[in-house]
Amino acid sequence: MSTGQLPGDRGPKGQVGRRVRAALLAYALMLSQLLGMAGPTTLAQALDDAVTLRSSLGSDSHDGFPNFIHYFDVDGTGDVLTIGYCMNMGRYNEEAEVYDAGWDYASGPLAYIAYNGYPNTTTVAGHQLSELGARTATAIAVYMECGYIEPGADCHVPAGVSDDGSGGYSLSDYGPTSGVVREAAVSLYEAAQAHGSEDGPWNHAAVRVYHAPSPRVQNMLVVQRNVTVTLSKGSADATLTSGNDEYSLAGATYEVRRESDDELVATVTTDADGRASCTLSPNERYYAVETKAPSGFVANPERTYFQTGVENSTEQLIDEPGTVTLVVRKQDSATGGAAQPGASLEGAEFTAVDANGDTHLAVTDATGTARFERLPLGRVQVTETRAPAGYLPDATVRTYHASATELGDADTVDLSPNDPVSEDVVAFDLELTKFADDGLDEGSGIEKPAAGVQFQIVSNTTGAVVGTIETNASGYADTASDPNLWFGAGTRPEAAGGALPYDAAGYTIHEVESSVPEGFSHVGDWTLSPDAMSAGAKLQYIVDNHALSARLQVVKVDATSGLTVPLAGFSFQILREDGSPVTQESWYPTHVELSEFTTDETGTLTLPQRLVPGTYYLHETAAPAPYLVGTKDVQAVVAADATLPPVVVARYTDAQATGRATIVKTDAQSGAALAGAEFDVIAREAMTSPDGTIQAVEGQVMGHVICDGEGRASLDGLPLADGSATYAFVETKVPAGYVLDAIPHEFTLTYEDPETPVVEAATEASNVANSLTITKAELGSPEMTLPGTVFSWWSADAGDAPGEAEGARSVTVGDDGILRIEKIAPGDWYLQESAPVPGYVTDATRHSVHVGEDGIISADWFDDAGQASAFLENDHTRVEVSKRDVTTEEEIPGASLSVTDSVGTVVDAWTSTEGPHLIERLAPGTYVLTETMTPHAYDQSQSVTFEVAEAGEIQKVVLYDEPVSVTGQLDKRQEIADALDPNTVEDGDGANRASVSVSEEGLYDYSLDFRNTSSTWVDELTVTDSLDGVRDGLAELVGITTPRVTGDYDGLLNVWYQTDQTPIGYVDPAGANATRSDAHANPWLEGDGRALEYAGWRLWKTDVAAGDSVELAASDLGIASDEHVTAVRFEYGRVEKDFTTRVGDWDRSDLKDVHDDLDDVVADHDQTLSSAVLHLRVTEAYETGCVLDNTAALDLFRNGGKESLEDHDADAVTQTPRSFMPLLPGTGEGPSPASLLAALGLAALAVPLVRRRLHA
Q: Return the percentage of the chain with pLDDT > 90, whole number.
A: 62
- Quote the strand ranges of 248-407, DSSP E: 253-258, 264-269, 275-280, 285-292, 297-298, 304-307, 313-321, 323-332, 349-353, 359-363, 369-376, 378-386, 391-392, 398-402
Domain limits for position 568: 548-655
Report pLDDT for 32: 38
pLDDT tens for residues 883-897? Answer: 999 989 999 999 999
User: Would you place residue 182 in the very low, low, confident or very high pLDDT band (cuts 50, 70, 90)?
Assistant: confident
318 vs 231: CA distance, rounded Å: 10
> Which carries the bigger pLDDT value, residue 363 or residue 385?
363
907 shares its domain with 950: yes
User: Would you place residue 522 in the very low, low, confident or very high pLDDT band (cuts 50, 70, 90)?
Assistant: confident
Q: How far is CA 1199 from CA 426, 963, 1196, in A?
A: 124, 12, 10
Residues near 1076 by beta carbon (within 8 Å), at least 6 away in sequence: 1088, 1089, 1090, 1133
836 shares its domain with 905: no
- Domain boundary, last residue among 207, 224, 241: 224
pLDDT tens for residues 470-481? Answer: 999 999 999 999
492 vs 1250: CA distance, rounded Å: 170
User: Would you place residue 36 in the very low, low, confident or very high pLDDT band (cuts 50, 70, 90)?
Assistant: very low
Q: What is the mean pLDDT of residues 448-477?
A: 93
Report pLDDT for 23: 36
The separation between CA 148 and the C-alpha centre of its own chain, rounded to angstroms, equals 38
> Which carries the bigger pLDDT value, residue 832 or residue 242?
832
945 shares its domain with 901: yes
In-domain check, residue 316: yes
pLDDT of 43 above 80: no
Report pLDDT for 206: 67
Give me the torsion for CA of 219, 223, 224, 226, rounded to 10°: 160
812 shares its domain with 823: yes
465 vs 509: CA distance, rounded Å: 10
Report pLDDT for 1221: 67
Name the least confident of 65-79, 317-331, 513-527, 1004-1018.
65-79
In-domain check, residue 432: no
Per the CB < 8 A criterion, the answer to whether 969 and 1134 are in contact is no
pLDDT tens for residues 1101-1131? Answer: 999 999 999 999 999 999 999 999 999 999 9
998 shares its domain with 1092: yes
Report pLDDT for 56: 64
Q: What is the mean pLDDT of residues 914-933?
A: 95
CB atoms within 10 A of CB 101: 16
608 vs 7: CA distance, rounded Å: 119
Q: What is the mean pLDDT of residues 595-606?
A: 92
pLDDT tens for residues 249-300? Answer: 999 999 999 998 998 988 999 998 899 998 888 888 999 999 999 999 999 9
**Pairing relationship of beta strands 323-332 and 412-415 according to DSSP bridges:** parallel
- Domain boundary, last residue among 392, 424, 456: 424
User: Would you place residue 827 in the very low, low, confident or very high pLDDT band (cuts 50, 70, 90)?
Assistant: very high
Q: What is the mean pLDDT of residues 369-375?
A: 95
Give me the torsion for CA of 669, 671, 672, 673, rounded to 10°: 120
pLDDT tens for residues 711-761? Answer: 999 999 999 999 999 999 999 999 999 999 989 999 999 999 999 999 999
342 vs 331: CA distance, rounded Å: 15
Q: What is the pTM of this model?
A: 0.63
Using only the alpha carbons of the chain, give its radius of gyration.
Answer: 61
321 beta partners: 297
811 shares its domain with 702: no
945 vs 664: CA distance, rounded Å: 67
pLDDT tens for residues 535-565? Answer: 888 888 877 755 456 788 899 999 998 888 9
Report pLDDT for 577: 93
Q: How many domains does the chain have?
A: 8
Report pLDDT for 512: 94
1175 beta partners: 1005, 1039
In-domain check, residue 946: yes
pLDDT tens for residues 117-162? Answer: 988 888 888 887 877 788 888 888 998 999 888 888 778 878 777 6
In-domain check, residue 461: no
474 vs 431: CA distance, rounded Å: 13
List phi, psi (to 5°) of 376: -70, 155
- Domain boundary, last residue among 320, 344, 377: 320
Residues near 192 by beta carbon (within 8 Å), at least 6 away in sequence: 108, 109, 110, 112, 113, 116, 141, 145
587 vs 1058: CA distance, rounded Å: 165
218 shares its domain with 263: no
**Pairing relationship of beta strands 323-332 and 304-307 according to DSSP bridges:** unpaired
User: Where do the H-state alpha helices sit in 1003-1092?
Assistant: 1028-1031, 1074-1077
Q: What is the mean pLDDT of residues 905-921?
A: 96
pLDDT of 705 above 60: yes
Report pLDDT for 57: 56
Q: How many CA atoms lie within 13 A of 286 on its CB side?
A: 31
Report pLDDT for 636: 92
Report pLDDT for 133: 80
User: Would you place residue 1223 in the very low, low, confident or very high pLDDT band (cuts 50, 70, 90)?
Assistant: low
pLDDT tens for residues 96-105? Answer: 889 999 998 8
pLDDT tens for residues 610-620? Answer: 888 899 999 99
1024 shares its domain with 1155: yes
* 8-state DSSP, 804: G
> Which carries the bigger pLDDT value, residue 49 or residue 368?
368
Q: What is the mean pLDDT of residues 921-930?
A: 95
Q: What is the mean pLDDT of residues 1239-1253?
A: 36
Q: What is the mean pLDDT of residues 381-403?
A: 90
* Element holding 594 (H helix, E strand): strand 592-594
571 shares its domain with 709: no
Report pLDDT for 702: 93
287 beta partners: 257, 305
1028 shares its domain with 1104: yes
Per the CB < 8 A criterion, the answer to whether 50 and 107 are in contact is no
**Among candidates 972, 969, 968, which has minimal Cα distance to 1153?**
972
Residues near 1222 by beta carbon (within 8 Å), at least 6 away in sequence: 1230, 1231, 1236
Name the least confident of 965-969, 1087-1091, 1142-1146, 1244-1248.
1244-1248
Q: Report helix angle 108-116 to 131-145, nearest 10.
A: 180
The CA-based diameter of the chain, rounded to the nearest angstrom, is: 229
205 shares its domain with 312: no
4 SS3 class: helix
pLDDT of 166 above 80: no
The dihedral through the CA atoms of 1088, 1094, 1100, 1105 has a sign that is negative
Report pLDDT for 1239: 41
pLDDT of 772 above 90: yes
pLDDT of 1213 above 50: yes
Report pLDDT for 162: 64
pLDDT tens for residues 192-218? Answer: 999 988 887 787 666 889 999 988 888
999 vs 975: CA distance, rounded Å: 12
929: domain CATH number is: 2.60.40.10
Report pLDDT for 80: 53
Name the least confident of 589-603, 784-798, 1067-1081, 1144-1158.
589-603
1065 shares its domain with 1212: yes
18 SS3 class: coil
User: Would you place residue 64 in the very low, low, confident or very high pLDDT band (cuts 50, 70, 90)?
Assistant: very low
* 8-state DSSP, 998: -
Report pLDDT for 148: 87
896 vs 932: CA distance, rounded Å: 5
What does pLDDT average to over the chain? 86
DSSP codes of every residue in 496-528: -SSSEE--TT-EEEEE-GGGSPTTSPPPPPEEE
Q: What is the mean pLDDT of residues 1179-1197?
A: 96
Q: Return the percentage of the chain with pLDDT > 70, whole number.
A: 89
Per the CB < 8 A criterion, the answer to whether 488 and 501 are in contact is yes
